[in-house]
Amino acid sequence: MSNSAIVFPGQGSQKVGMGADLYEKYKEVRDFFDEADSILGRNITKICFEGPAEELVKTTNTQPAIFLVSAALLKVLIRNGHLPKVVAGHSLGELSAYYAAGVFDLKTALNIIVQRAESMERSYPAENSAMAAVIGMKEDKIRHILNDFSGSPVVIANYNSPDQIVISGEKEGLTSACRIIKDQGARAIPLKVSGAFHSPLMQQGSDELREHISDFVFNDAEVPVVLNRTGEEETISEALKKNLPLQIVSSVLWVKSIQTIQSKVDSIIECGPGKVLSGLIKKISPGKQVFNIYDNETMNIFLDA
């Protein structure tokens, strides 16, 4: 086992064509995607590789597609002897971390991910939901501003880095909060999302997912999973199962998660489409060795290093 952590990205990192070069090069990746298509009963591989973009960005396609690319990259790492010492994932990426830790198999992972996506979409009208990244304002100041919007709930959804916090909630309240944040000299950047994720507005989705997985069998994690909701390690199956529905309505404590990981490993590998997590990790833990693997080229660079 290498002395590395592997972390997995969440929704927003997708792009048409992701994973296609891995599919062409590695038979186990081809078999993996083909099995996923069979399990889902639809050609998610084609949507992932060929689009169109308007299909890929639909939550019910985006979430399984990102998971599959992340898991395919993991397969290549493992076949080359790179087993993680600890794993974590950002939001949706936490499902990839569960899979990497052996908590459940591919069929169960896809079943849960599809249900999670559908339940989150149903939770609250997308047209009344919004999220925004706040840059350049401290947590306590953001909290003070958000306290004035209790009738139109807006909460901190993601603690992404020391200088980036994501807020989430009802659209009218969030728009007003962003106006105040900008007036006080910080940046508030609207995110292109289809819901107020990681907020109390996702409660219906949380309840539906809890019911859906009630009879599922989870395994104890083979390596610790650092949870978004707590920023701490977990390996016990029942705790991991209980966590998944709660994660939907809870903040992503990414800063705390990376702080937990950094003392345990020599390096952190972002495994999945995009480069978002690598950038955040470098801000949270300057000096820590960070690798970003998202396609065949970056995989080869890592393996040759």
From residue 119, how far is each of 91, 146, 153, 186 by CA, in Å? 15, 26, 20, 33
Q: Give the end-to-end CA distance of the chain in Å, rounded to a whole number.
A: 17
- 90 catalytic per annotation: no
The pair of structure tokens assigned to 241 is 């199962």
Catalytic pick among 13, 198, 251, 257 = 198
**Coil/strand/helix, residue 159:** strand
Catalytic pick among 4, 13, 70, 91 = 91
Sign of CA dihedral 100, 304, 14, 251: positive
Question: What's the alpha-carbon Rg for the chain, to the nearest Å?
Answer: 19
Q: Which strand ranges, in their side-by-side order, compose the sheet holding 4-8?
A: 233-234, 225-226, 86-89, 4-8, 267-271, 289-293
Write the DSSP symbol of residue 202: G
- 38 catalytic per annotation: no
Sign of CA dihedral 118, 211, 233, 266: negative
Sign of CA dihedral 72, 209, 57, 280: negative
Active site residues: 91, 198
